Amino acid sequence: MSLKHTILGFLNAAPKTGYDLQKSIDLSIQHFWPSTQSQIYRTLKELEGEKLISGEIHIQSEKPNKKVYTLTAAGQEELVRWLSEPLVIPPHRSQFLVQLFFSRHLDPSIIISNLENHRNQLEKRLAFLESDEAQSRIELGRSAQEKAIYQIIIENGIHILKSEIEWANHSIGRLYKFIQKN
Amino acid sequence: MSLKHTILGFLNAAPKTGYDLQKSIDLSIQHFWPSTQSQIYRTLKELEGEKLISGEIHIQSEKPNKKVYTLTAAGQEELVRWLSEPLVIPPHRSQFLVQLFFSRHLDPSIIISNLENHRNQLEKRLAFLESDEAQSRIELGRSAQEKAIYQIIIENGIHILKSEIEWANHSIGRLYKFIQKN
DNA sequence: GGACCCATGTAAATAGTTACATGATTGC
DNA sequence: GCAATCATGTAACTATTTACATGGGTCC
């Protein structure tokens, strides 16, 4: 589970509550590792059980009390270990391709409209990654190395989305030609 | 769950056993919707409960008995409904990008070796999609429309993998330059 | 005798989503 | 008065993976 290591990664920078973590995730890695609040709180408990983080309750008078988690020495060790480890790419899944695969008996116009819908969704994601909002996050990096890494990550999304859009447009064109011939 | 619709899709072509389905999946959509035997048998029971398929036991003398499933009218209806439906693209997840994101304090040489490992895995997948084995599956399509669809699907994988490899190589180059400067 | 094909299933673990549930303070 | 922010959690459901479990027939 990457969420465990995501949390270790964020806590390595500074102690945080579940609530803080949710905000950090939404602001940074949400577009390649989204997470929900309920999952974060559950995972924090698991990590505490494994002694990789430790929680301490902070009593606040004006706001609700909160539980601030800190990385333990074992947690930091586990983080570095995972970061250095070569990861196996999990199998690729695309329900859209499954749909397309079984569409052989469908009217080509429906297939085209599904492809167009797919492409439009990809374009929305691309627009976000190319927006100032996403680009400005690169500037959040402190060191030159950090900036270089953020840049590379954003480029990954942009690069892949563009190529998926290209494929969709090319495929739409091909099916149009197919209709005209038949 | 796409496996349900995958099964409906295959049973639409011909009645099959769980064992047959596993083989069909491994031979065709395994690279964009892999599935395990245990999941197939469980899903068959669920679909039977929903009356979308119906199973009949065939007694064999030389081989173990088998349960052959057939698509019901309701099942076919559900299949066509799902095939025509615009799908929402699920959020993108990449544990590799999570790893990269937190690698800011790591030695750049480790980051590069992780990137190279990632690229090598992508290249293996690409080699498979470009192999005769994968290409020959396009010929399995009966109608011209079916062949066009198979072609489009294989191209999707090739197109995206090539662009991911491009990105990885570009990023490796960038990090190398970074090392030389510092 | 061992590997592979045919054929079926259960159980447990892991990961993630959606819905439910509460409650104080701050700003418009 | 209402929405937003801060803050924490539980419960139920969905989906997937891995491991366990069995057993006959065929081919080398």
Contact with chain A for residue B173, Cβ under 8 A: no
Contacting residues of A for B148, CB less than 8 Å apart: 174-175, 178
Each residue's pLDDT expressed in tens, for chain B with a length of 182 residues = 789 999 999 999 999 999 999 999 998 999 999 999 999 999 999 999 999 999 888 877 677 788 999 999 999 999 999 999 999 999 999 999 999 999 988 999 999 999 999 999 999 999 999 987 777 777 776 788 888 999 999 999 999 999 999 999 999 999 998 888 77
pLDDT at residue B68, as a whole number: 95
- B64 CA → D22 C1’, Å: 12
- B11 CA → D21 C1’, Å: 28
Q: Which two tokens stand for residue B123?
A: 């290249």
pLDDT at residue B99, as a whole number: 97
CA distances from B29 to A70, A145, B129 (A): 44, 40, 12
CA distances from A115 to A45, A106, B153 (A): 43, 13, 12
Q: Does residue B26 lie in a domain region?
A: yes
Which of A8, A82, A100 to mutate: most B Cβ within 10 Å?
A: A100
Distance of residue B40 Cα from the nearest chain A Cα, in angstroms: 16
Which of B12, B78, B96, B112 to mutate: most A Cβ within 10 Å?
A: B96
Residue B77 shares a structural domain with residue B124? no
Residue where a domain terminates, one of B84, B113, B141:
B84
Contacting residues of A for B6, CB less than 8 Å apart: 98, 102
Residue A151 shares a structural domain with residue A102? yes
Q: Does residue A90 lie in a domain region?
A: no
Residue where a domain terminates, one of B51, B84, B117:
B84
Residue B68 shares a structural domain with residue B7? yes
Residue A72 shares a structural domain with residue A116? no
- Identity of the amino acid at A140: L
Q: Does residue B89 lie in a domain region?
A: no
Please give the distance of CA A145 from its chain centroid, rounded to a whole number.
21
Q: Does residue B144 lie in a domain region?
A: yes
Q: Does residue A150 lie in a domain region?
A: yes
Residue nearest to nucleotide D11 (CA to C1'): A38
Residue where a domain terminates, one of B54, B84, B114:
B84
Contact with chain B for residue A92, Cβ under 8 A: yes
Reported as a single tens digit per residue, the pLDDT across A110-166 is: 999 999 999 999 999 999 999 877 777 777 767 888 889 999 999 999 999 999 999
pLDDT at residue B2, as a whole number: 86
Range of the domain at A9: 2-84
- Chain D positions within 7 A of any protein Cβ atom are 6-12, 14-20, 23-26
How many domains is chain B partitioned into structurally? 2
Q: Which two tokens stand for residue A51?
A: 């002694």
Q: What part of A 123-152 touches B (C-beta under 8 Å)?
A: 125, 141, 143-146, 148-150, 152
Residue in chain A closest to B124 (alpha carbons) equals A89
Nearest to B175 by CA among A84, A29, A109, A149: A149
Residue A73 shares a structural domain with residue A112? no
Q: Of chain A residues 47-106, which have a beta carbon within 7 Å of strand C?
A: 62-64
A98: CB partners within 8 A, 6+ apart: B2, B5, B6, B9, B29, B32, B33
Residue A103 shares a structural domain with residue A169? yes
Residue nearest to nucleotide C20 (CA to C1'): A38
Residue A64 shares a structural domain with residue A112? no
Does at least one atom of strand C sit less than 7 Å from the CB of B70?
no
Between A65 and A13, the higher pLDDT residue: A13
Contact with chain A for residue B87, Cβ under 8 A: yes
Give dist(CA A46, CA A52) in Å, integer: 9
Tokens 């990105």 locate to B167
Residue B117 shares a structural domain with residue B76? no
- B26 CA → C1 C1’, Å: 30
Q: Does residue A65 contact residue B42 with C-beta atoms inside 8 Å?
A: no
Residue A152 shares a structural domain with residue A173? yes
Residue nearest to nucleotide D20 (CA to C1'): B38
Q: Does residue B23 lie in a domain region?
A: yes
Give dist(CA B92, CA B98) in Å, integer: 12
Q: Does residue B57 contact residue B65 with C-beta atoms inside 8 Å?
A: yes
Give dist(CA B78, CA B76) in Å, integer: 5
Give dist(CA A177, CA B151) in Å, integer: 15
Q: What is the largest CA-CA distance in chain B?
A: 74
Residue A61 shares a structural domain with residue A101? no
Q: Does residue B90 lie in a domain region?
A: no
B134: phi then psi, degrees, rounded to nearest 5: -70, -45
Asked if residue A1 has pLDDT above 80, the reply is: no
Residue A44 shares a structural domain with residue A75? yes
CATH of the domain at B74: 1.10.10.10
pLDDT at residue B136, as a whole number: 76
pLDDT at residue B143, as a whole number: 85
Distance of residue A167 Cα from the nearest chain B Cα, in angstroms: 6
Residue A72 shares a structural domain with residue A99? no
Asked if residue A62 has pLDDT above 70, the reply is: no
Asked if residue A6 has pLDDT above 90, the reply is: yes
**How many percent of chain A have pLDDT more than 70?**
98
pLDDT at residue A61, as a whole number: 65
Distance of residue B24 Cα from the nearest chain A Cα, in angstroms: 13
pLDDT at residue A135, as a whole number: 78
Q: Does residue A118 contact residue B135 with C-beta atoms inside 8 Å?
A: no
